[in-house]
């Protein structure tokens, strides 16, 4: 009986001594940082063409104990998907390091395209002004690729005309002749909706 009691006592002591070492080992593995890991410097990315509002930014990070947490930063600001977003680390006073998000944007001056003597296009940023005295029959939006299409009444004869705009969000303007009307197809570089208004007899297209 005494031998059994001594055996149980030694077994309990052995387990009590072993468990602390297991816990420490697990924590060490969880918190160990690979020497080959590098510090974060910067990251750049772009949003898809359908993006209009930057709602929030979510950062996922690993804690000392190996657990994973997330931090969400609410923004709720309009965004131009053409802008390149930068997630960077900035050193302040050579001591404090902060993370910030920047955007790089480019804006070009307006461009003008004139076809014969009956229509002209003024392109600037996200709008196009169509200057013509011809009557608009219809306008509509098509997808894949995205285009805004206008039909104007005129009995004319001409070969198809292509203007390469290359001024985001506008890619090109194509004019094609049809029976007693001509078609204007404005190709876009992504997904948009548009608003059309009249001003001094001209048509002004604004993209959203």
pLDDT of 23 strictly over 70: no
Phi, psi of 29 (to 5 degrees): -65, -40
pLDDT of 28 above 80: no
Q: Which one is predicted more confidently, 127 or 88?
A: 127
Q: Provide the residue ranges of all domains of the chain, joining segments of one domain with +.
A: 42-104, 111-207
45 against 134, higher pLDDT: 134
Pair type for strands 84-92 and 68-78: unpaired
- State the average pLDDT for the chain: 80
Would you report the helix, strand and coil content of the chain in percent, each value rounded to 5? Answer: 15, 55, 35
**Residue 45 pLDDT:** 82
Task: State how far the alpha carbon of 7 is from the alpha carbons of 13, 14, 15, 30, 172, in Å.
Answer: 10, 11, 12, 35, 88
Q: What percentage of the chain has pLDDT greater than the value 70?
A: 74
Give the pLDDT confidence score for residue 195 in this predicted structure.
95
pLDDT tens column, 39-89: 777 788 888 888 888 888 888 989 988 899 998 989 898 888 778 887 777
Question: What is the model's pLDDT at position 34?
Answer: 65
Other Cβ atoms less than 10 A from the Cβ of 63: the count is: 10
Architecture of domain 111-207: Sandwich (2.60)
Report pLDDT for 31. Answer: 54
């Amino acid at each position: 009986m005494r031998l059994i009691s001594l055996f149980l006592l030694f077994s309990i002591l052995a387990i009590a001594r072993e468990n602390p070492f297991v816990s420490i080992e697990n924590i060490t593995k969880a918190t160990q940082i690979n020497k080959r890991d590098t510090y974060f410097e910067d990251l750049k990315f772009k949003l898809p063409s359908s993006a209009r509002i930057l709602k929030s930014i979510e950062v996922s990070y690993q804690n000392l104990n190996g657990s994973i947490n997330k931090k969400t930063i609410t923004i709720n600001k309009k965004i131009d998907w053409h802008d390149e977003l930068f997630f960077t680390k900035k050193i302040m006073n050579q001591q404090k390091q902060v993370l910030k998000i920047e955007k790089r944007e480019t804006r070009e001056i307006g461009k003008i395209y004139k076809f014969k003597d009956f229509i002209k296009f003024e392109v600037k940023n996200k709008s196009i002004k169509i200057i013509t005295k011809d009557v608009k029959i219809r306008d509509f939006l098509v997808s894949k690729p995205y285009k805004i299409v206008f039909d104007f009444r005129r009995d004319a004869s001409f070969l198809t005309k292509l203007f390469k705009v290359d001024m985001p969000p506008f890619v090109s303007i194509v004019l094609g002749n049809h029976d007693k009307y001509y078609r204007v197809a404005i190709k876009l570089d992504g997904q948009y909706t548009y608003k059309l208004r009249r001003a001094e007899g001209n048509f002004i297209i604004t993209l959203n």
